[in-house]
Every structure is written in C-alpha cells, then in structure tokens.
Amino acid sequence: MTTTVAAIKEILAGLRGTPELADELADTADLVDGLSLDSLEMLQFMLELEDRLAIRIDFDQLEFSYLRSIRTLADFLDTMPARPPPAPAM
Amino acid sequence: MGSKTSSLNAQASRWRMLRGLHPEPIDLARVALIRERTPAYLAQPGNLERLVLELGLNDEGLEEFPAELHPHCGQGLRIWQYPSQFAGYLAKLATLGVRSYMELGVRHGGSFVATVEVLERFRRLDFAIAVDIIRCPAMAGFARINPRVEFAHVNTQAAEFGALLARLGSIDLVFVDSHHEEAQCRREIDALAGVANMIALHDISNIGCPGIGTVWNEMKASGRFACFEYAGQYAGMGPYMGIGLAVKNERLGVNAAPAVEGA
C-alpha cells in the first residue's frame, strides 16, 4: 500500500519530470525552499494530492509551515476527510 | 527566495478563501433569465446589474462583498463579480459585436456562462472556450444547452495552451481571470497578444493581487489598446475586483479613441 509520504514524493517527481526524484527525496525535504515549487506548481501539487489520495484538503487548517517537510505535510494530509463523490451537474 | 515565499503565502491565503480547490455545480436553469431578455434590455447597465443579482453570486470570499449583496451569494450561477462592475463591462461588450470568446480561469463557470449568454443576445458567437487548470463540472452541462461552448482543461503556462491558441488562430475577446499572479498574467497577455483582438483582465483593482494592476497599467501604457475600466467600489469595501477591457486600436476601428475610459 502506498503511503502518503511515498505519494507526495511520486507526485513531486512527476511535476519535476524526473522519476528518480521519488527515491532521492528525504522525508524531511522542504517543498518551498528545497524544491522551489512556485505558486502554480503548488496548485498543481495540491490538485494531484487530492486526486491521488481521494481527500479534500481543508485550507483553513493548512499551515504554511506544513510545506517545510514532506513528513509534516503527510501527517497533515492523513487527517483530511475523504473527498465526497462529485455532485451531478445541475 | 523571499518573493517565492511571499507568492506562496498569497496563494495559501487565496486557498483559504475557497471552499476547496474544486468548483461547485451551478444552476444553469438561470440561463433562461438571460435568454428571455431583449437586447434592448441587456444594453442597459442598470438592467444588467439587476440581472446579475438574479443570476446569483459566488459566496467564496464573502468578506469582499458588501452586506447588501450577501442574500444573492451562494446560489444560481455563482458569479464571482461585483454586479456594478460586471454590468458596465457587459454593456460595453454589447456595443462591440463580439465574435468569439475565451475565458482563462472560470472557477464555477458563472461569469463565463453569463458573458457567453449575454453576448449571444447580440451576436451568435463562433465559439466560446472556458480554460482552466481545474476541471469545472458545470461546463459539460452548459455545452449541452449551448453547442458552441467548449471546456479546455489546460494549464496556460504549458505548451498545450500555445497549441490551443494556434488551433484557434484568432479570438475576438479573451477574459483573463486565472492565477492572479503578476508574472503568469504577463505571460498570458504575451501569449494572447498575437491572437486576441480584445483582452479583459479581472482584479485590476484588487488589493489582494496587485500584480494584475501592474500588468493592466503596462497594457494601458503600451499605446496598442483603447482601454476601459470598470472598477467602481461599494462603500467601505476594498478596493476589490475591477475589470479592465483593452481593445486593440485596429479592432475598435477608431485610432483616435480615448486611451482610457473609466466607468
């Protein structure tokens, strides 16, 4: 079973276009300064996290400091509720 | 690195304004409220302002809406606009005979739906394309009731956006309301420069994203456009939102048009 930490690393590797990055990243890697994700890449990252983990991120609870470590972010994401099924278009 | 952190902090702040990344369904039955109005009615900003309230406003970022608008928020098309600004903008578009339309960043889709439907009361569009990096569930339903509509799940910063523009060749009007970040906005304007006759920017006045105002001021200073602003504020608010419409001088057909017209 893929852990949240592994999922984060795989998504980051995909965003960077370097599959080997998933194996190279430390659990403590900093998403802001270490990986230099810009704001648009961070949006893509969040979208993929929600899809991959089937969760809905509560941004009221997301502290910027959580992005300073993959492990810290994973701990936060593990507390997020499952994403509700999509509502039918009206 | 400081600017990157600042940009990400701004993005995090914007996310907190949202209920979540994913858009909500909208009530497309309200399209009928536009289709039943005559062009003469829709040409008047006052009428349009009342109509926008009937169509329904978004309820994200509610603190940016004055209390008197709150009863209209969270329903209908979930239009994320100030009715007073949007009405003046739509009334101007009604005089321009817009032929085709693209919107970058549509969120729930309300502004896109309202713009397309109002424009089509004056002239049938050749096509209307909603572009967003986030899928918009309302667009499939809208395409069923308006066959000229298409949704493009595209990142404007990726090569696929350039391919989309190349496929279209020319677009009469593009409304830019995407990532609200200066550098991205400037790249979008640059990408559109050769294909769009008219470019509108949303949030030219918004204190939350001053970079959009910077890009708008650059467009005004370029001398290539006749520029129109719809940035009136509600008492005690903002400044928030604000729409700038830049019409290429050759599209307007009047090279001596005023460089900037406020509303």
- What CA–CA distance (Å, rounded) separates B112 from B118? 10
Find the mean pLDDT for residues A70-89: 85
State whether A89 and B141 contact (CB < 8 Å): yes
Count CA atoms closer than 13 A to B187's CA, side-chain side. Answer: 14
Find the mean pLDDT for residues A1-24: 90
Neighbouring residues of A47: CB distance < 8 A, sequence distance ≥ 6: B21, B133, B134
Contact list in A for residue B11 (CB cut-off 8 A) is: 39, 42-43
**Contact A67/B at CB under 8 A:** yes
**Contact B124/A at CB under 8 A:** no
| pLDDT given for residue B256 in this prediction | 43
State whether A89 and B25 contact (CB < 8 Å): yes
Q: How confident is the model at residue A38 (pLDDT cuts 50, 70, 90)?
A: confident
Residue spans of chain B under pLDDT 70 = 1-8, 10-11, 254-263
In A, minimum Cα distance to B136 occurs at: A89
Residue ranges of domains in chain A, CATH in brackets: 4-77 (1.10.1200.10)
With beta carbons less than 8 A apart as the criterion, state whether A52 and A82 touch.
no
When scoring B11, B78, B146, B180 by the number of chain A Cβ atoms within 10 A, the one with the most, hence best to mutate, is B11
Q: Considering the domain B2-262 in this protein, what is its CATH number?
A: 3.40.50.150
Domain boundaries, chain B: 2-262
Ordered DSSP codes for B245-256: EEEEHHHHT-TT
Contact list in A for residue B141 (CB cut-off 8 A) is: 89-90
Helical residues (DSSP H) of A32-80, grouped into ranges: 39-53, 70-77
Which single residue is written with the structure tokens 């079973």? Answer: A1
Which residue pairs, CB below 8 angstroms and at least 24 apart, start in A34-40? A36/B4, A37/A12, A37/B8, A38/B4, A38/B7, A38/B8, A39/B7, A39/B8, A39/B10, A39/B11, A39/B179, A39/B181, A40/B133, A40/B155, A40/B157, A40/B179, A40/B181, A40/B184
State whether A39 and B18 contact (CB < 8 Å): no
Distance from CA of B89 to the nearest CA of A (A): 27
Q: What is the ipTM of this complex?
A: 0.77
| pLDDT given for residue B2 in this prediction | 59
| pLDDT given for residue B255 in this prediction | 46
**Contact B138/A at CB under 8 A:** yes
Cis peptide before A19 (omega within 30 of 0): no
| pLDDT given for residue A87 in this prediction | 58
Instruction: State whether residue B210 is helix, strand or coil.
Output: helix
| Of A39 and A9, more confident | A9
Contact list in B for residue A47 (CB cut-off 8 A) is: 21, 133-134
Which single residue is written with the structure tokens 């929600």? Answer: A50
| pLDDT given for residue B185 in this prediction | 95
Count CA atoms closer than 13 A to B43's CA, side-chain side. Answer: 8
State whether A62 and B15 contact (CB < 8 Å): yes
| pLDDT given for residue B257 in this prediction | 46
Contact list in B for residue A59 (CB cut-off 8 A) is: 12, 15-16, 18, 20
Counting every residue, how long is chain B? 263
- What CA–CA distance (Å, rounded) separates B204 from B69? 21
With beta carbons less than 8 A apart as the criterion, state whether B262 and B88 touch.
no
Query: Closest Cα partner for B131 from B94, B181, B83, B165?
Result: B165
Counting every residue, how long is chain A? 90
